[in-house]
């Protein structure tokens, strides 16, 4: 810290009886303590953050080092923040945060001051602050002292002190929880004494300790082993009152509910659990599953069911949970850029927090966001049959937990009594489940039956258009698809005659078609796709290319015109069915009359891929394969050629036989013949029969011969292969 | 229309439901951190019913979306969660049903620095690719290198959704190096005014990559708050020379089409206008060979909108279609800011028109979903209803029917 802030200390020291509330009215001191921050480059800009901010921005205050813990004075006006290099008292109002005292003055880099935890005293100790150091020291600071504020240094713990805690009603007793496995109580009235009591939890390191706010002779502690213990200080026997195995892995934090009976604990197993410490149940009343290990928790004052938590790692949020809805945080403050290390409720709506990002913040609950607002409350999904699965939120209300249909009240309407949750216990029924309806609507949108009948029965070959149209029309008629039937009839009328001619003189007809195509290319509207398709037709395996040279030959002109007329009608038909999404009709129609119509390549690909996809979805594999094979588009036809591999393994060494492509009948690895007959020792290339018991076998003929006389395996392996036969004959 | 109630026994809100390819399996995801898979059991005395296949705790936070992969890759589902992860699950036939072990976690995608809000498998055969978008405003595209074992999912490409980040920041992660977050373009961080020093500190180390969240700037700048915005995406399911998708722009109130340039970059395309608040969901309809494309959006401003995209025929001049590049990894990082995205593009260009807007929900609309044929749109909103929309023979879109939470099916308005 800069020198001038140290220079202020005499001002404080000269005061008699530190009284924070009185100090706040002492304008000179407050302003003085506000100014020193200007000498510090980092601090000077931090309050600026509040300026250009949207409403409800939290108050921020940047400190020179990472922060580990904070604690507010009993009246809430002052906050002490502590870290490895920082120990400062801040004055916090609703408007601003100013530095009040820097307790880490001078250049003492003693490990004593590297604080794990800090607590502000109360009542008799309302001007005292206790810090817990990583080297095991506990330091009591007296803000009334002049000069160095260090009141007392206790170094009785052998390892780091994780948490300290003042007794709530007197403030004289201080509890400390240490990594060395001890909880010690100190009477601060007696400055010299050793620990008044020492409680050995008979357990591992103690991570947290806290007095019961109501019955102040009780305290609870959380242990590295995951247990929590309740102690009664009146009980002189060194044994806990009650012990619960609370967490899988270390328990990092505990917090008493204001009712003095309920205790919450948080652990590295990423859960917060709520316990009734008066009951003997080994199961928690509630379990909140968070996304990261829980490092600190505190019940929200004034809200019996709400508890705030922050994580040890990876989650920068400060979450407020309603225990009755353990899966979604009710509020989240997401302002720190690292994990918050300490926080405290100042009132039921105000929370202060600090983090390793060096920031101290004062948040208001209105500045928090509600994660539930970001979540979709409903979902829908279609399937191919036209079923629509949906989950929709019934609750019109905005309440996070609907009080009416919640806990305790056993209304038949809600499903709190979840019997299936035996694993987590009988107390779980208190959980709130938002009303949501999930169901499946069956919409008669897609006639699966007709589709599959058509898929399986339609004639798709264009060899005999007349026959194909007639058959298809009949099928459509029988399925009561009269429009489709009509379409087939029309197609038959248009193309059947031509087909006859075509069959009489194939070449002529083909040439006519090409001619028509060229006509279209000239007159057509969609010149680009026409060209596309023509080239594709040439590539597409049809033989038009070969006829190109002949295309100037004998076609009659009136035939050409009728062709293009037909083309128009067919185009209309096809675009109608496309618009109807009836790709089945489009594809079938095209396949039947593909010799005579012209469709854009892209259009074709769309139809075919869509139709094939539909066939696959309905598991009509055979039809799909037929369509794929019939498709004039190379890219579609290759679908069938992809990834169809049959691997053969050697029956001796079970390695893949790779040389089958070269028609070798021996294994590469073990150089043995594949599937040799047990009798003739030749590879079996036809029917291979083998015993399921001993896996030996051979040519069907040989085996039949052998087993007509023998019952044991021909290899001499000793297996009685014809067991089945013999038992039958015996019976 | 008949409806069956379906009791999932989830313990909190269900956020997504999805049929598999064949429509015979369902998966549901919920805030109770569980996934549940259901099988439609048709065997046995003719009474077909949905049976629970397995239910397991899949994430550490609300699970926002769950999807099925095409069955050619096996029984694979992907889920995304508020816990910033995407997980890939595969069914283990050897494990008994309802053992909580039936679905094994095959991979986690952990690059997102915010809750992952939407995921979708890319259409098309052969390759298993997954697009994710998270609260950090980045769309990431992953590909299973070996779809048969699903244990390698390098991030292939990523781009920023925010328009002021512009396409210049879209870049690909080199193959295999997908983990550990590729270098972030620093200028894209934060919003409009990078406030001097506070922002500068964090940004200086902005390309530190793996340091993840720690590299973030001062308090307000570049924070990837989960509250930052909700994004959504939907691939174009139809044949196109290069992949496209429509993305909801979060706080920017709108949706935009993003197109792949055939190499390794994505550039922003057409903007879908008219939204007054955040777009909650987008869905690109299968076109089934129709000459135009349909996209539906669900918006916080209570509207369902349907957009029609018609290809601008100027694309005639396109070079012959290049085979869709399946292997963008081999191309080098191409960050040269001079390359205007409008040049060298192989994608289509569209004329965008609004076909229909409906405010019948009178509440925030959260989901839109086209049926398989792209002819009927379903939408669901905070009013507790699912509404179905269909075009009549006159081409006008109308409400076809309403399904409401109390089980009653509202009056079906026959479309013409």
Each residue's pLDDT tens digit, A467-500: 888 899 999 999 888 888 988 888 888 876 665 5
Shortest CA gap A53–chain B (Å): 9
The token duo for B383 is 């009013």
Calpha distance B187→B400 (Å, rounded):
47
Residue B329 has a pLDDT of 40
Residue B88 has a pLDDT of 94
How many A/B residue pairs have CB atoms within 8 Å?
258
* Number of other CB atoms surrounding residue B21 within 10 Å: 18
How far separated are the first and last CA of chain B, in Å rounded?
Answer: 17
Q: Which residue matches tokens 């099916």?
A: B409
Looking at A408, A424, A442, the residue that finishes a domain is A442
Q: Is residue A431 part of a domain?
A: yes
The token duo for A15 is 């005061």
In order, the DSSP letters of A596-658 are: T----HHHHHHHHHHHHHHHHHTT-HHHHHHHHHH-S-HHHHGGGGTT-----B-TTT--B--
A385 interfaces chain B, CB cutoff of 8 Å: yes
Residues A598 and A511 in one domain: yes
Q: Is residue A55 part of a domain?
A: no
A52 interfaces chain B, CB cutoff of 8 Å: yes
Choose among A375, A111, A152, A193: nearest CA to B81: A375
Q: Is residue A4 part of a domain?
A: no
Looking at A591, A614, A637, the residue that finishes a domain is A637
Residue B198 has a pLDDT of 36
**B interface mutation test: which of A61, A385, A438 has the most B CBs within 10 A?**
A438
DSSP B94: T
The token duo for B43 is 């065997």
**Residues 350-379, chain B, touching A (beta carbon < 8 A):** 366-367, 369-376, 378-379
**Residues 315-334, chain B, touching A (beta carbon < 8 A):** 316
Q: Is A112 helix (H, G, I), strand (E, B) or coil?
A: helix
Minimum Cα–Cα distance from B25: chain A residue: A383
Q: Which residue has the higher pLDDT, A727 or B287?
A: B287
Tell me which range, A626-635, A673-682, B407-416, is most confidently predicted by mean pLDDT: A626-635
Residues A494 and A525 in one domain: yes
Residues A479 and A438 in one domain: no
Q: Is residue A575 part of a domain?
A: yes
The partner residue sitting opposite A583, judged by closest CB among B5, B26, B288, is B288
Provide the residue-wise pLDDT of chain B in tens; the chain has 416 residues.
Answer: 677 888 888 888 889 999 999 988 999 999 889 999 999 887 766 677 888 999 999 998 899 999 999 988 889 999 999 888 999 999 998 888 888 889 999 999 998 888 899 999 998 777 899 999 998 889 999 999 888 888 889 998 889 888 764 433 434 333 333 333 333 333 333 333 333 333 333 333 333 333 333 333 333 333 445 666 789 999 999 888 788 999 998 888 889 999 988 888 899 989 998 899 889 999 999 988 888 899 999 998 999 999 999 988 654 444 433 444 334 443 333 333 333 444 444 567 889 999 999 999 888 899 999 988 888 999 998 888 899 999 888 889 999 889 886 654 444 443 33
Minimum Cα–Cα distance from A614: chain B residue: B372
Residues A513 and A632 in one domain: yes
B214 interfaces chain A, CB cutoff of 8 Å: yes
Contact A49 B409 (CB under 8 A): no
Choose among B55, B106, B54, B108: nearest CA to B83: B108
The partner residue sitting opposite A579, judged by closest CB among B5, B30, B290, is B290
pLDDT > 90 in chain B, percent? 32
The partner residue sitting opposite A375, judged by closest CB among B15, B238, B239, is B15
Calpha distance A389→A382 (Å, rounded):
6
Query: What would the mean pLDDT of A312-318 be, rounded to a whole number?
Result: 85
The partner residue sitting opposite A376, judged by closest CB among B15, B286, B288, is B15
Close Cβ partners of A304 (under 8 Å, ≥ 6 residues apart):
A257, A258, A259
Which residues on A lie below 8 Å from B17 (Cβ)?
379-381, 389-391, 438
A528 interfaces chain B, CB cutoff of 8 Å: yes
Residues A434 and A474 in one domain: no
Phi, psi for B108 (deg, rounded to 5): -125, 140
Shortest CA gap A439–chain B (Å): 4
Q: How many domains would you assign to chain A?
A: 2
Structural domain boundaries, residue A502 = 450-637
Calpha distance A434→A416 (Å, rounded):
10
Phi, psi for A406 (deg, rounded to 5): -115, -170
Which residues on B lie below 8 Å from A289 (Cβ)?
33, 60
* Angle between the N-to-C axes of helices A601-617 and A527-539, in degrees from 0 to 180, rounded to the nearest 10: 70
DSSP A420: T
The token duo for A421 is 């949750």
Provide the ipTM: 0.79
A402 interfaces chain B, CB cutoff of 8 Å: no
Residues A457 and A433 in one domain: no
Query: What would the mean pLDDT of A323-352 be, rounded to a whole number?
Result: 89
Shortest CA gap B294–chain A (Å): 13
Looking at A602, A637, A672, the residue that finishes a domain is A637
Residues A466 and A423 in one domain: no
Q: Is residue A245 part of a domain?
A: no
Close Cβ partners of A206 (under 8 Å, ≥ 6 residues apart):
A162, A163, A177, A178, A179, A181, A182, A183, A221, A222, A223, A224
Shortest CA gap A55–chain B (Å): 13
Residue A104 has a pLDDT of 78
Q: Is residue A347 part of a domain?
A: no
Which residues on A lie below 8 Å from B33 (Cβ)?
289, 327
Minimum Cα–Cα distance from B22: chain A residue: A617
B314 interfaces chain A, CB cutoff of 8 Å: no
Calpha distance A524→A516 (Å, rounded):
11
Residue A651 has a pLDDT of 67
Residues A592 and A510 in one domain: yes
B125 interfaces chain A, CB cutoff of 8 Å: yes
Contact B3 A442 (CB under 8 A): yes
Residues A513 and A574 in one domain: yes
The partner residue sitting opposite B238, judged by closest CB among A359, A418, A606, is A606
Q: Is residue A423 part of a domain?
A: yes
The partner residue sitting opposite A586, judged by closest CB among B8, B225, B289, is B289
Q: Is residue A74 part of a domain?
A: no
In order, the DSSP letters of B12-46 are: S-EEEEEE-TTSSEEEEEETTSEEEEEEEE--STT
Contact B6 A439 (CB under 8 A): yes
């Amino acid at each position: 810290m800069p020198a001038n802030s140290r220079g202020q200390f005499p001002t404080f020291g000269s005061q008699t009886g530190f009284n924070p509330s009185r100090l706040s009215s002492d304008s000179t001191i407050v302003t003085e303590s506000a100014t020193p921050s200007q000498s510090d480059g980092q601090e000077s800009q931090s309050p600026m953050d509040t300026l250009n901010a949207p409403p409800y921005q939290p108050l921020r205050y940047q400190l020179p080092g990472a922060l580990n813990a904070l604690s507010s004075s009993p009246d809430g006006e002052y906050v002490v923040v502590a870290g490895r290099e920082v120990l400062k008292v801040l004055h916090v109002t609703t408007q601003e945060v100013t530095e009040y005292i820097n307790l880490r003055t001078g250049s003492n880099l003693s490990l004593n001051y590297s604080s794990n935890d800090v607590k502000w005293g109360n009542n008799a100790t309302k001007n005292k602050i206790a810090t817990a150091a990583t080297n095991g020291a506990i330091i009591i600071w007296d803000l009334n002292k002049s000069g160095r504020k260090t009141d007392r240094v206790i170094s009785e713990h052998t390892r780091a002190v994780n948490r300290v805690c003042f007794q709530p009603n007197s403030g004289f007793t201080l509890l400390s929880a240490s990594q060395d496995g001890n909880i010690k109580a100190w009477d601060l009235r007696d400055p010299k004494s050793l620990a008044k009591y020492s409680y050995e939890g008979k357990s591992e390191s103690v991570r947290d300790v806290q007095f019961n706010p109501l019955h102040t002779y009780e305290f609870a502690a959380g242990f590295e082993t995951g247990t929590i213990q309740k102690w009664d200080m009146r009980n002189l026997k060194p044994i806990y009152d009650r012990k619960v195995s609370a967490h899988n892995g270390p328990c990092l934090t505990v917090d008493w509910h204001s009712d003095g009976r309920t205790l919450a604990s948080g652990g590295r197993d990423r859960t917060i659990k709520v316990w009734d410490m008066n009951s003997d149940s080994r199961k928690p009343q509630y379990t909140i599953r968070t996304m990261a290990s829980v490092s600190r928790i505190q019940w929200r004052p004034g809200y019996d069911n709400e508890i705030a938590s922050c994580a040890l790692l990876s989650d920068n949020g400060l979450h407020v949970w309603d225990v009755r809805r353990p899966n979604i945080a009710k509020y989240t403050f997401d302002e720190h850029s690292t994990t918050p290390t300490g926080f405290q409720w100042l009132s039921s709506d105000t929370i202060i927090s600090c983090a390793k990002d060096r920031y101290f913040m004062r948040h208001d609950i209105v500045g928090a966001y509600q994660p539930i607002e970001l979540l979709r409350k409903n979902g829908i999904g279609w399937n191919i049959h036209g079923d629509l699965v949906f989950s929709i939120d019934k609750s019109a209300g905005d309440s996070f937990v609907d009080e009416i249909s919640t806990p305790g009240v056993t209304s038949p309407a809600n499903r709190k009594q979840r019997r299936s949750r035996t694993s987590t216990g009988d107390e779980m029924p208190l959980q709130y489940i938002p009303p949501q309806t999930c169901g499946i609507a069956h919409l008669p949108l897609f006639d699966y039956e007709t589709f599959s009948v058509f898929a399986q029965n339609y004639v798709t070959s264009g060899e005999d258009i007349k026959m194909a149209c007639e058959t298809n029309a009949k099928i459509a008629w029988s399925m009561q698809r009269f429009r489709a039937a009509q379409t087939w009839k029309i197609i038959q009328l248009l193309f059947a005659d031509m087909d006859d001619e075509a069959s009489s003189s194939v070449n002529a007809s083909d040439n006519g078609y090409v001619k028509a195509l060229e006509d279209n290319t000239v007159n057509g509207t969609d010149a680009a796709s026409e060209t596309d398709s023509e080239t594709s037709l040439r590539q597409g395996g049809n033989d038009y290319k070969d006829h190109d040279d002949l295309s100037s030959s004998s076609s009659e002109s009136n035939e050409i015109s009728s062709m293009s007329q037909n083309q128009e009608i067919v185009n209309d038909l096809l675009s109608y069915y496309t618009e109807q999404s009836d790709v089945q009709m489009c594809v079938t129609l095209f396949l039947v009359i593909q010799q005579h119509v012209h469709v854009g390549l892209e259009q074709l690909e769309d139809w075919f891929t869509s139709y094939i996809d539909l066939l696959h979805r309905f598991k009509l594999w055979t039809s799909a394969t037929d369509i794929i094979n019939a498709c004039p588009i190379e890219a579609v036809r290759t679908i069938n050629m992809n990834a169809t591999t049959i691997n053969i393994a050697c029956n001796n060494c079970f390695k893949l036989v790779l040389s089958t492509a070269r028609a070798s009948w021996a294994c590469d690895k073990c150089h043995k013949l594949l599937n040799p007959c047990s009798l003739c020792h030749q590879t079996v290339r036809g029917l291979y029969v083998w015993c399921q018991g001993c896996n030996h076998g051979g040519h069907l003929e040989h085996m039949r011969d052998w087993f007509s006389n023998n019952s044991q395996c021909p290899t001499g392996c000793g297996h009685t292969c014809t067991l089945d036969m013999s038992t039958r004959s015996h019976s | 229309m008949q409806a069956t109630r379906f009791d999932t026994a989830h313990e909190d809100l269900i956020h997504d439901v999805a049929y598999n390819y064949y429509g015979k399996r369902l998966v549901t995801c919920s805030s109770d951190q569980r996934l549940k898979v259901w099988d439609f059991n048709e065997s046995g005395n003719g009474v077909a019913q949905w049976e629970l296949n397995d239910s397991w705790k899949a994430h550490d936070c609300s699970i926002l979306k769950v999807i099925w992969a095409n069955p050619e890759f096996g029984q694979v589902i992907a889920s995304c969660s508020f816990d910033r992860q995407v997980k890939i699950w595969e069914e283990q036939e050897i494990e008994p049903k309802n053992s909580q072990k039936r679905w094994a976690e095959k991979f986690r995608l952990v690059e997102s620095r915010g809750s992952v809000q939407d995921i979708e498998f890319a259409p098309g055969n052969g390759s298993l690719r997954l697009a994710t978008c998270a609260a950090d405003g980045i769309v990431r595209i992953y590909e299973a290198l070996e779809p048969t074992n699903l244990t390698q999912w390098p991030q292939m490409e990523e781009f920023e959704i925010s328009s002021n980040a512009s396409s210049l920041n879209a870049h690909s992660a080199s193959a295999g190096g997908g983990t550990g977050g590729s270098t972030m373009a620093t200028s894209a961080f934060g919003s409009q005014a990078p406030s001097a020093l506070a922002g500068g500190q964090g940004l200086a180390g902005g390309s530190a990559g793996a340091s993840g969240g720690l590299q973030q700037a001062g308090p307000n700048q570049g924070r990837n708050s989960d509250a930052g915005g909700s994004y959504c995406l939907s691939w174009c399911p139809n044949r196109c020379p290069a992949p496209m998708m429509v993305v909801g722009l979060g706080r920017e109130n709108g949706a935009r089409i993003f197109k792949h340039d055939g190499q390794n970059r994505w550039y922003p395309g057409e903007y879908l206008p008219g939204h007054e608040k955040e777009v909650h969901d987008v869905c690109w309809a299968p076109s089934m060979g129709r000459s135009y494309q349909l996209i539906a959006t669900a918006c916080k401003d209570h509207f369902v909108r349907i957009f029609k995209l018609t290809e601008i025929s100027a694309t005639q001049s396109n070079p012959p279609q290049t085979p869709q590049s399946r292997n963008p990894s081999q191309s080098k990082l191409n960050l040269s800011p001079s390359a205007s995205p409008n040049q060298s593009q192989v994608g289509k260009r569209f004329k965008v028109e609004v076909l229909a807007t409906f405010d019948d929900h009178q509440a925030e609309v959260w989901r839109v979903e086209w049926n398989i044929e792209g002819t009927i749109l379903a939408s669901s909103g905070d009013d507790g209803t699912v509404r179905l929309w269909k075009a009549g023979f006159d081409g006008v879109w109308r409400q076809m029917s309403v399904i409401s939470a109390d089980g009653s099916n509202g009056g079906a308005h026959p479309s013409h």
